[in-house]
């Protein structure tokens, strides 16, 4: 219980510093190099006081907000050379049995998720692009792990391999696609919807 509260305090303190920095930057933009005027200083002091109060007694609203801020999911390649971070939960999780995914992964099928492209951050390593059939597959340059997939260069969404997430356990597929290419010895779980071709995902 104490630890939990302390965890929140550390996060809220970081957030406060960020808010104050932004506020000071705003003042500087408004006033040029003239510094803050008395009203702005009062406003700054008051917001600081209110924010510090929040650190000591975080309201449910702030705790919820921190929960939202915390949506970061880390993953990476086999050797650890490429590390990435998702800033939102992957959606449209599906097993793709298409021939291209099979060849590209040397596995009977791939489990993909989708995030907005700007919600994916590559933290380290080089990602190698392999254009094929008008789409772009992306592999870790260091060890060849398949990581991402783009429908086209302008796509705002990016597919990512669920198995490259550090803790993929909770991201179960919600559909199965391209089963017309499925290997007959792969047994399908028939509980999620099954699509002979694309379904909802682009992979």
Q: Which stretch binds Zn ion (CB under 5 A): 49-57, 69-77, 113-121, 188-196?
A: 69-77
**Interface with Zn ion includes 77 (CB under 5 A)?**
yes
Q: Give the C-alpha distances (Å, rounded to integers) separating 77 from 22, 23, 50, 121, 180.
A: 36, 39, 44, 14, 29
Reported as half-sphere exposure (CB side, CA atoms, 13 A), residue 52 has a value of 6
Q: Which stretch binds Zn ion (CB under 5 A): 25-33, 44-52, 136-144, 156-164?
A: 136-144
Q: Which one, 12 or 96, has the nearer CB to Zn ion?
A: 96
Q: How far is the CB of 160 from Zn ion (least distance, A)?
A: 13
The DSSP code sequence of 19-62 is: HHHHHHHHHHHHHGGG---HHHHHHHHHHHHHHHHHHHS--HHH
Among 81, 105, 127, 151, the residue binding Zn ion under the rule CB under 5 A is 81
Q: Which stretch binds Zn ion (CB under 5 A): 57-65, 139-147, 185-193, 194-202?
A: 139-147
Q: Contact at 8 Å (CB) between 33 and 45?
A: no
Among 12, 73, 93, 96, the residue binding Zn ion under the rule CB under 5 A is 96
**Interface with Zn ion includes 127 (CB under 5 A)?**
no
**Interface with Zn ion includes 203 (CB under 5 A)?**
yes
Question: Which conformational region is residue 4 in: left (phi greater than 0), alpha (psi within -120 to 50 degrees), or beta?
Answer: alpha
**Interface with Zn ion includes 98 (CB under 5 A)?**
yes
Indicate the length of the chain as a whole number. Answer: 203
Which residues lie near Zn ion (CB under 5 A)?
A: 77, 79, 81, 96, 98, 101, 140, 142-143, 203
């Amino acid at each position: 219980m104490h630890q939990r509260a302390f965890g929140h305090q550390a996060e809220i303190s970081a957030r406060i510093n960020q808010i104050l920095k932004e506020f000071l930057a705003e003042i500087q933009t408004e006033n040029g190099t003239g510094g803050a005027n008395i009203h702005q200083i009062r406003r700054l002091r008051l917001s600081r006081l209110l924010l510090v109060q929040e650190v000591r007694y975080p309201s449910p609203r702030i705790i919820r907000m921190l929960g939202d801020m915390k949506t970061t999911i880390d993953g990476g390649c086999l050797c650890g050379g490429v590390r990435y971070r998702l800033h939102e939960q992957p959606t449209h999780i599906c097993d793709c049995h298409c021939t291209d995914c099979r060849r590209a992964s040397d596995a009977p099928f791939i489990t993909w998720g989708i995030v907005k492209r700007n919600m994916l951050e590559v933290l380290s390593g080089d990602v190698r692009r392999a254009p094929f059939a008008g789409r772009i597959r992306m592999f870790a340059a260091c060890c060849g792990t398949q990581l991402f997939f783009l429908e086209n260069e302008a796509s705002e969404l990016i597919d990512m391999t669920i198995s490259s997430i550090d803790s993929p356990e909770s991201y179960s597929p919600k559909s199965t696609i391209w089963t017309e290419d499925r290997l007959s010895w792969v047994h399908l779980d028939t509980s999620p919807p099954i699509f002979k071709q694309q379904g909802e995902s682009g992979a």
